[in-house]
Amino acid sequence: METRKSAGVFLGISIAIGLALLGFQLANAAISVKQFERSVTVKGLSEREVMADIVLWPIQFSAASNDLSALYDTIEKNTSDIQSFLVENGIDPDDISASAPAITDKSAQQWGGNDSAKYRYTATQTITVYSENIDTARAIMPQLSELGKQGIVFTSGSYDTRTEYIYTRLNDIKPSMVEEATQEARAVAQKFASDSDSQLGKIKRASQGQFSITERDKNNPHIKKVRVVSTIEYYLSD
């Protein structure tokens, strides 16, 4: 009887000790997990100024006449004069294209106010320069006034006539910019860890923001600013 009683006591003590050890281990594990989950989220920025490598330059003019045949003759002559002017000043003929003219017959319009119109037919024509030779195109732009003095009526101010400068070589600088943004983010995280008496660990998660390409300023639209922000979360430990 005494033997059974002693065995029961021993078993009870063993279970109690085992549960205490298990509780201690679980507590330590919980503390370790909690510490392991400590983290800091930082952002790293990379910016570059680059030159656009494509110019998209629409040149639009208008003409009017009461004779449709004469109007088309004027459009063809003006188009030819503009194309010749561009080529003579260094634009590759393959970089020049002309759209079909847009003709308006005011007598065919159903709303009022057309009886007093001086010309029955009006037309707009767009010639587009799509070229990598940006410096040459920019040098020619102010010189179009010479053709204006010869009677060509240029139109501007609308969205369709806005000159665009395009940067197409983003893939060439993407890797180095991502690396730069990542290094900046790590430097910020390292400073935070140092200030908080912590050790910077591995990356927990990271996301690369969208690359943006904008004009550096309104006066120099051919100079672009490329920007990317990377967001990185690092583990921290004591």
Where residue 224 sits, what CATH number does that domain have?
3.30.110.170
Model confidence at 208: pLDDT above 80: yes
**192/114 same-domain check:** no
Q: Could you report the per-residue pLDDT of 131-147, keeping only the tens digit for each?
A: 999 999 999 999 999 99
**128/80 same-domain check:** yes
34 or 182: which carries more pLDDT confidence? 182
**83/146 same-domain check:** yes
Q: In this predicted structure, what is the pLDDT of residue 93?
A: 97
Neighbours of 115 (CB within 10 A): 7
pLDDT classification of 156: cutoffs 50, 70, 90? confident
Averaged pLDDT for residues 46-53: 96
Sign of CA dihedral 140, 94, 125, 75: positive
Q: SS3 letters for the chain?
A: CHHHHHHHHHHHHHHHHHHHHHHHHHHHHHHHHHHHCCEEEEEEEEEEEEECCEEEEEEEEEEEECCHHHHHHHHHHHHHHHHHHHHHCCCCHHHEEECCCEEEEHHHCCCCCCCCCCCCEEEEEEEEEEECCHHHHHHHHHHHHHHHCCCCEEECCCHHHCCEEECCCHHHHHHHHHHHHHHHHHHHHHHHHHHCCCEEEEEEEEEECCCEEEECCCCCCCEEEEEEEEEEEEEEEC
User: Which domain covers residue 20, as residue numbers?
Assistant: 1-37
**116/187 same-domain check:** no
**Contact between residue 49 and residue 216 where contact means Cβ atoms under 8 Å apart:** yes
- Of 131, 166, 201, at which residue does a domain stop? 166
**127/44 same-domain check:** no
Model confidence at 64: pLDDT above 90: yes
Sign of CA dihedral 107, 111, 116, 118: negative
Averaged pLDDT for residues 186-200: 90
**133/59 same-domain check:** yes
pLDDT classification of 32: cutoffs 50, 70, 90? very low
Model confidence at 200: pLDDT above 50: yes
Q: In this predicted structure, what is the pLDDT of residue 27?
A: 43
Query: 65 forms bridges with which residues in the sheet?
Result: 121
Q: In this predicted structure, what is the pLDDT of residue 24?
A: 47
pLDDT classification of 160: cutoffs 50, 70, 90? confident
**Residue spans of beta strands (DSSP E) within 150-216:** 153-155, 164-166, 199-208, 212-215
- Of 166, 198, 214, at which residue does a domain stop? 166
**Domain count along the chain:** 3
- Of 127, 142, 166, at which residue does a domain stop? 166
